[in-house]
Amino acid sequence: MATLTVRNLPDEVHRALRLRAARHGRSTEAEVRAILEAAVKPEGRFKLGSWLAEIGRELQLDEEEVALVEQRDRSAPRAVDLS
């Protein structure tokens, strides 16, 4: 992973970052990463996992149904001939 150094950060900005991080229960460094990630990710990005989780909440699946959904084929992938 890359490292980023931010120089000449005003004290009031650093203080605000520390307070925001504390409110979210994470370090200042983790808070800055979260802010940067949110700032650069594409808007309207479709998140399949979040969408499926929302469907599950709406359907109010019971534990047995959730277990069925979580079952996965763990076998090795097969080669596909596209010729």
pLDDT in tens, 2-50: 999 999 999 999 999 999 999 999 999 999 999 999 898 877 777 788 8
- Residue 2's nearest CA partner among 41, 38, 27, 36 is 36
- Residue 21's nearest CA partner among 10, 34, 7 is 34
- Give the amino acid at 60: Q
- Give the amino acid at 81: D
Runs of H (alpha helix) within the chain: 11-23, 28-40, 48-59, 63-70
Q: What is the pLDDT of residue 23?
A: 95
Q: What is the pLDDT of residue 25?
A: 95
Q: 20 Cβ partners below 8 Å, 6+ apart?
A: 31
- The model carries a pTM of 0.51
